[in-house]
Amino acid sequence: MSPAALMILSAVMMAVAAALLIASVMAERPLAELALETPRPAEPDAADSRRLEARLIRGGSQLWRRQTQRRRRIADFARLLRQAGYVGNRAQVSVLLSLGLVVLGVGSAGALHGLRDAGGLAGALGNGVAGLLVGAVLTWLWLRRQVAARREQLDEEAELLIQTTRMLWETGMTLEGVLRSLIHNLGEVLTASRLELQVALARIEAGQERGEVLEALADLQPSPASEAYFNLLAQVAVSGGGARSSLKALSELLNDRRRTTLQEKVTKMSGKMSLVMMVFLFPVLLIIVAGPAVVNLGGLLQSLSGGTP
């Protein structure tokens, strides 16, 4: 394959990957908004392309569902995608396709670079494999970064979510009413938690048992605070008791954890600052304090050595 063809192939793969990434972001739209959307009449060409896309995504979703049920590693990877915020097989398949095309694009770029430098098939193959590995590592690191960022966002939203849930519960609302009120009133503030609340409300309204839905949702949370919140709601849904004291205890527990984490960070920062002072500040102080004495001692020794015959 000529270098021009490889370059064109790499550009096409990158463009398709960018398009699929945008599609995967659109697939993250809340379930309630998708359910309330009014279908618009589409043109024939747009309808055909939309049907073809839906057919491909549907086939990939079914294959992805079967593989996650059969293989543990794929199930763990699907769990990682879910923790990154990609809910449903459709969104996960879209992200997988886009990431796969990015990896193939990086591999094609590596093969093109090897073909131009080495001028042979062996160099192109070696650089292509290296490019595939680099692309896979970069996509894995990006996915882990997405999970970490979402975990931090859920931790930040946990306190407001718990306190608002406690106030709504004190008014005598049901669990479905509390979830619905949180979605409608705090959806713009609790952007990460809103998706989880919508998933829980959609499954409960579909007829699933409330405790099982909330327990399954708690197992998929990347944040310990969000996991504890949904576990508490599951216990309340099963036992039927009040959640006021439990939510207050959970809020105090999370505050204690946050305080302990901050203390640990301050302690580690003190150790790092001590190391910085030892490496950079102490030599400067030694030069300032002992420098004049060393200069005077050198001058005295020079005068003594010059005065001796």
Q: What is the pLDDT of residues 97-117, one digit of tens each?
A: 888 888 888 888 877 777 777
Rounded distance between C-alpha atoms, residue 41 and residue 242, angstroms: 48
Q: Are 125 and 133 in contact (CB under 8 A)?
A: no
Angle of helix 224-239 relative to helix 121-170, nearest 10 degrees, comes to 50
Q: Is-above-0.85 flag for pTM?
A: no
CA 238 to chain CA centroid, nearest Å:
31
The angle subtended at Cα 164 by Cα 159 and Cα 169, nearest 5°, is 130
Rounded distance between C-alpha atoms, residue 144 and residue 86, angstroms: 13
Q: Are 254 and 225 in contact (CB under 8 A)?
A: yes
Q: Are 83 and 152 in contact (CB under 8 A)?
A: no
Q: Is 60 exposed, middle or buried (0-12, 13-18, 19+ CB in 10 A)?
A: middle
Question: 3-state DSSP call for residue 209?
Answer: coil
Q: Are 106 and 128 in contact (CB under 8 A)?
A: no
Rounded distance between C-alpha atoms, residue 256 and residue 260, angstroms: 6
For residue 100, what are its two tokens?
A: 């796969």
CA 257 to chain CA centroid, nearest Å:
22
Q: Within 10 A of 82 (CB to CB), how many other CB atoms are there?
A: 18
CA 41 to chain CA centroid, nearest Å:
36
Q: Are 64 and 89 in contact (CB under 8 A)?
A: yes
For residue 77, what are its two tokens?
A: 């990877």
Q: Which residues of the chain have pLDDT under 70?
A: 1-71, 118-120, 241-242, 306-309
Confidence at residue 92, expressed as pLDDT on a 0 to 100 scale: 77
Confidence at residue 101, expressed as pLDDT on a 0 to 100 scale: 83
Confidence at residue 77, expressed as pLDDT on a 0 to 100 scale: 80
**What counts of helices (H) and strands (E) characterise the chain?**
12, 0
Q: Are 108 and 3 in contact (CB under 8 A)?
A: no
Angle of helix 224-239 relative to helix 175-186, nearest 10 degrees, comes to 150
Provide the percentage of residues in the chain whose pLDDT is more than 70.
Answer: 74
Percentages of the chain per state (helix, strand, coil), in multiples of 5: 85, 0, 15
Rounded distance between C-alpha atoms, residue 8 and residue 30, angstroms: 36
Confidence at residue 277, expressed as pLDDT on a 0 to 100 scale: 75
Q: Within 10 A of 48 (CB to CB), how many other CB atoms are there?
A: 11
Confidence at residue 37, expressed as pLDDT on a 0 to 100 scale: 38
Q: Are 87 and 194 in contact (CB under 8 A)?
A: no
Q: Are 133 and 111 in contact (CB under 8 A)?
A: no
